[in-house]
């Protein structure tokens, strides 16, 4: 058996097992595969300069128009699929399940550290790949779907986006050092907006008197969200540090005060994460916290769905985490 295959496989699973367990797995692989010959699949069998196929371009057009994906989602689709197609350099009809698995084996790693991607990120990319090949199959471009055999990776039992505790929320607010940080944190907690929605809010979208914000969400759907008094005060304090003609609610710290980008927002939250000593401070945890707190206070799930901008009620139920102690209290009310 090719030692490169064994060593590569062991490196992928190394974080999940102890050194002793890894040695056992390595020895078992060698023993089991003595009569096998394992070779890497060829990734390019054509001598011509590869260009993205027309089918891919038509898929992206249909995806952007029919599903009305936002700019960030479109970029995720493009990055995943174009990397796949340029990696394999094969006609779509010639791509097999083995090719897809080889691509995943070689590329589903952090480019900086070389560590395997998290199950959540891997599953996201696999979903994009399955979506593309499913579309090709339904439109008669391929006779069978090679991505159908790709399985989702099992995630750990701990919910990666569980809501912040009350203590964590207070520590994050206390860790804010600038008016901009304070305004962003208060707004994320009180509205549950997505990261890309947050950075695209214009000052003209906000009604301070009514404490509402007009949000352009996924699929270019408009909705109205509400914010509390602490958010209003934090926004007013932050805006006093900016010229009156600034267009967006959250901008860069220096002239010409361009709109804050998604990456800058994530960087800001990572700094707060260290200061507050709170783990996993990402925009979506604010969103989960918002939904969970509303649900705990008895807000109807349909109202939470509207505020979050979800098309599917099932999606909303994954955001609103039932509090176990509250469930027990409610259970005891109706049982003997």
Which residues are catalytic, by number?
Answer: 194, 218, 284, 287, 310, 319
Q: Dihedrals φ, ψ of 105, to 5°?
A: -60, -40
Angle between helix 71-88 and helix 119-138 axes, rounded to 10 deg: 80
- In sequence order, the β-bridge partners of residue 206 are 213
Nearest to 11, CA basis, from 108, 143, 91, 147: 108
Residue 63 in contact with residue 18, Cβ under 8 Å? no
DSSP state of 117: P
Q: Dihedrals φ, ψ of 155, to 5°?
A: -95, 160
Nearest to 193, CA basis, from 227, 143, 168: 227
Kindly state the greatest CA–CA separation across the chain: 76
Residue 134 in contact with residue 145, Cβ under 8 Å? yes
């Amino acid at each position: 058996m090719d030692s490169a295959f064994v060593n590569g496989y062991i490196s992928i699973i190394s974080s999940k097992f102890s050194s002793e367990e890894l040695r056992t797995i390595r020895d078992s692989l060698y023993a089991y595969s003595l009569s096998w010959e394992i070779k890497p699949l060829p990734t390019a069998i054509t001598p011509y300069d590869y260009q993205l196929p027309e089918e891919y371009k038509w898929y992206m057009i249909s995806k952007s128009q029919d599903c009305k994906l936002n700019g960030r989602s479109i970029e995720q689709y493009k990055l995943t699929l174009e990397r796949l197609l340029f990696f394999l350099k094969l006609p779509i009809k010639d791509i097999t399940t083995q090719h897809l698995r080889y691509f995943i084996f070689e590329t589903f790693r952090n480019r900086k550290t070389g560590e395997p991607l998290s199950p959540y990120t891997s599953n996201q990319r696999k979903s994009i790949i399955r979506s593309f090949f499913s579309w090709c199959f339904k439109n008669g471009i391929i006779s069978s779907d090679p991505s159908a055999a790709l399985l989702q990776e099992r995630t750990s039992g701990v919910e990666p986006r569980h809501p912040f505790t009350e203590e964590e929320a207070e520590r994050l607010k206390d860790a804010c050092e600038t008016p901009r940080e304070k305004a962003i944190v208060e707004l994320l907690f009180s509205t549950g907006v997505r990261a890309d929605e947050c950075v695209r809010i214009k000052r003209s979208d906000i009604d301070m008197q009514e404490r509402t914000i007009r949000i352009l969400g996924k699929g270019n759907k408009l909705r109205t969200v509400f914010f509390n008094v602490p958010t209003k005060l934090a926004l007013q304090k932050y805006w006093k540090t900016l010229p009156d003609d600034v267009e967006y609610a959250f901008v860069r710290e220096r002239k010409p005060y361009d709109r804050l980008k998604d990456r800058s927002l994530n960087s800001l939250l990572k700094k707060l994460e260290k200061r507050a000593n709170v783990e996993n401070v990402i925009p979506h945890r604010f969103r989960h916290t918002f939904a969970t707190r509303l649900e705990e206070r008895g807000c109807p799930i349909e109202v939470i769905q509207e505020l979050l901008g979800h098309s599917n009620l099932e999606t909303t139920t994954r955001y609103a985490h039932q509090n176990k102690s509250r469930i027990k209290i409610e259970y005891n009310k109706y049982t003997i």
